[in-house]
Amino acid sequence: MKKLFSLLAIAGMLVFGAANVYAQEGGDEPTAQEQVAPATNQSSVSADQPEEIPIHKAIKTKFIEGGAGFMAFVLIALIIGLAISIERIIYLGLAAPNKEKLLEDIEEALNNGGVEEAKKLCRAKRGPLAGIFYEGLDRYTDGSRENLAEVEKAIVSYGAVEMGKLESGVTWINLCISLSPMLGFMGTVIGMIGAFDAIEQAGDISASVVAGGIKVALITTVAGLIAAMILQVFCNYILSKIESITNDMEDASISFVDILIKYAAKR
């Protein structure tokens, strides 16, 4: 439930930000005084010099030209994908373990206070690695070969659970990546159908008749592809982060078992 609320909050902030920018753009119409320029200023501006359009205004113009219907669906898919991606990046950043420090603290706790002290330390730490070590310590009894095998089995089983938590949400990001170009292509098909309808009604194949429909078709396609490319970059970063954390967890688990073997040998 907390994850759902966090995703909705992130998506809400993104939507609110986009709406705020759109509202501000709507108030940028020049006033009557701004439209009347002094003759001295007009004479200093070359008549054939093209006016530079800001990038955000150009994007807003193309969004409107592409049609609010399919362009809005592409934007929603992009916002949802970005919200999940940001939530995953924050979660993975907090879950990234400092394995060397944690292993040192656990070994010190075992030597000074025993298993219970080490379990208390793992409960105080956050992250998947501390949870895995706690499950292993919870299965530790006498340090025999059979008991250590049970500890390793618990570490492997709980490690799979933590892996599932790390990969949670990646499926939805992939869904948004797949849907964005599909929605763009659907807008392309609708735009081409509109172009052919215009040809049928006009009874003439001219550039002015079909240009509008083809333009809408191309804009929606480009928007879907851009949204998919942006989300793909985030998805690849998240997957690489998960792979790095998984490798650290596996390496630290081996070192943790070695610490338990040393502790059992001392007793």
Confidence of residue 183 (pLDDT cuts 50, 70, 90): confident
Assigned domain for 140 exists = yes
**Paired tokens of 138:** 């919870």
Assigned domain for 254 exists = yes
Residue with tokens 């193309």: 62
For 11-15, 23-27, 132-136, 227-231, which range has the lowest pLDDT when averaged over its residues?
23-27
Q: How many domains, in total, are found in the chain?
A: 1
Q: Could you give the CA distance from residue 115 to residue 267 in angstroms, rounded to a whole number? A: 12
Residues with Cβ within 8 Å of residue 202, at least 6 apart in sequence: 209
Assigned domain for 203 exists = no
What average pLDDT does this structure show over 207-229? Answer: 76
Q: Give percent of the chain above pLDDT 90.
A: 15
Q: Could you give the CA distance from residue 94 to residue 84 in angstroms, rounded to a whole number? A: 15
Assigned domain for 159 exists = yes
Look over the chain and give the mean of its residue pLDDT values, rounded to a whole number.
Answer: 76
**Paired tokens of 86:** 């940001």
Are the C-beta atoms of residues 261 and 148 closer than 8 Å to each other?
yes
| Radius of gyration, CA atoms only, the chain | 29
Assigned domain for 155 exists = yes
Assigned domain for 182 exists = no
What domain range is 151 assigned to? 97-166+248-266
Assigned domain for 257 exists = yes
Residue-wise pLDDT for 65-94, tens only, equals 555 666 788 889 999 999 999 999 999 988
Assigned domain for 133 exists = yes
pLDDT of residue 147: 86
